C-alpha cells in the first residue's frame, strides 16, 4: 500500500501538469464511468503488486499478462466484438499456458509448484479487474483525453491506499529514488497505453504488452537470480503465442471488414 500511495501521488502530479490548463474539462465528461475506472485501477494495481511481491517475477508477469484472453472474451460477450475460430483457438492455447504455469493440484496431483496460493489468487484477481479496466478505457478513450482517463486511478489510489495500510516504513534515500522511479515509469506507461487503446484494438495492443513477460524473465534472471523452470517457460511461450495469434486474428477481421 505504501508503494501504491507513492505511485498514486506521482500520478496525480503528472496528470495535474498535463491538465492544468483545461478548466472544467479536467475531470472529464463521463464522471461515473471514470470513477469506476479509478476503483478498478486501484484494485487491479494492488493485486499486481501483491502478485509481484509474493511470486517469482517471471511467474507473476506470465499470469498477470494473460489478461488479453479475458479482455477478448468480455469484449465478445459485452461489446459485441467478433471472435473467430482462430481467436478461440488462440484463447484455448493461452489458457493451456496459464494451466502449465499454475499447475493446479486437481490436474497435476501432488508435486505442483511451491507457489504462494495467495499470490496465485491475487494474479487471477488482477487478470479479472484489469480486463474490466481495459474495457472501460476502450470506451472512455473515444471521448476523453488520455490524461483525464489516467487521473482517476491515482485519485482512488491516493485516497484508499492509506486506509488499508498497516503502517508506514520510512524509506531510505535510495529507496525514495526507486519509489519515485516506479511512479514515473508506471504513469508514463499508463499514458501511452491509454493512447494506444484509443487508436488500436484491445487484442493487438494487449499482444504487444506480452513483451513484458520476456523482459520480466530476463530481468528476474539478471537482477534477482530467479531462473524460470521448464513449466514456466513452456506455459509462458503458449500464452505469448496465443495472444500474438489473437492479435493477428483481430487484424485479419478488421481487414475483412474494410
Q: What is the pLDDT of residues 222-257, one digit of tens each?
A: 888 877 778 778 887 887 787 777 767 666 666 665
Could you tell me the three cell numbers for 200?
A: 488500436
What pLDDT digit, counting tens, does each position of 21-30 carry? 665 567 778 8
Q: How confident is the model at residue 106 (pLDDT cuts 50, 70, 90)?
A: very low
Q: Which residues of 140-171 are buried (b: 16+ CB within 10 A; e: fewer)?
A: bbeebbbbbbbbbbbbbbbebbeeeeeeeeee
pLDDT above 90 as % of the chain: 15
pTM here is: 0.73
Contact 58, 214 (CB under 8 A): no
What pLDDT digit, counting tens, does each position of 31-54 carry? 899 999 999 999 999 999 899 888
Coil, helix or strand at residue 167: coil
Mean pLDDT of 67-92: 76
pLDDT computed for residue 191 by the predictor: 80
Neighbour tally for 251: CB within 10 Å? 15
Residue bearing cell 531510505 = 172
Radius of gyration of the chain (CA): 19
Averaged pLDDT score across all residues of the chain: 79
Contact 167, 49 (CB under 8 A): no
Burial class of residue 125 in the structure, from the number of CB atoms within 10 Å of its CB (0-12 exposed, 13-18 middle, 19+ buried) = middle
Amino acid at each position: 500500500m505504501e508503494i501504491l500511495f507513492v505511485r498514486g501521488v506521482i500520478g496525480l502530479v503528472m496528470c495535474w501538469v498535463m491538465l492544468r490548463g483545461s478548466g472544467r474539462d479536467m475531470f472529464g465528461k463521463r464522471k461515473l464511468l471514470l470513477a469506476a475506472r479509478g476503483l478498478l485501477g486501484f484494485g487491479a494495481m494492488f493485486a499486481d503488486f501483491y502478485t509481484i511481491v509474493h511470486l517469482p517475477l517471471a511467474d507473476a508477469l506470465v499470469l498477470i499478462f494473460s489478461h488479453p484472453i479475458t479482455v477478448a472474451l468480455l469484449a465478445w460477450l459485452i461489446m459485441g466484438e467478433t471472435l473467430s475460430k482462430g481467436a478461440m483457438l488462440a484463447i484455448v492455447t493461452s489458457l493451456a499456458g496459464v494451466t502449465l504455469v499454475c499447475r493446479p493440484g486437481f490436474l497435476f496431483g501432488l508435486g505442483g509448484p511451491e507457489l504462494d496460493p495467495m499470490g496465485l489468487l491475487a494474479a487471477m484477481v488482477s487478470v479479472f479487474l484489469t480486463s474490466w479496466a481495459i474495457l472501460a478505457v476502450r470506451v472512455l478513450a473515444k471521448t476523453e483525453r488520455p490524461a483525464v482517463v489516467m487521473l482517476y486511478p491515482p485519485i482512488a489510489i491516493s485516497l484508499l491506499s492509506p486506509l488499508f495500510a498497516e503502517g508506514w516504513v520510512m524509506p531510505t534515500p535510495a529507496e525514495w529514488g526507486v519509489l519515485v522511479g516506479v511512479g514515473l515509469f508506471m504513469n508514463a506507461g499508463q499514458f501511452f497505453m491509454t493512447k494506444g487503446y484509443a487508436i488500436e484494438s484491445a487484442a493487438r495492443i494487449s499482444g504487444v504488452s506480452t513483451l513484458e513477460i520476456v523482459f520480466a524473465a530476463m530481468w528476474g534472471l539478471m537482477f534477482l537470480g530467479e531462473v524460470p523452470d521448464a513449466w514456466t517457460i513452456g506455459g509462458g511461450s503458449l500464452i505469448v503465442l496465443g495472444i500474438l495469434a489473437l492479435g493477428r486474428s483481430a487484424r485479419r477481421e478488421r481487414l475483412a471488414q474494410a
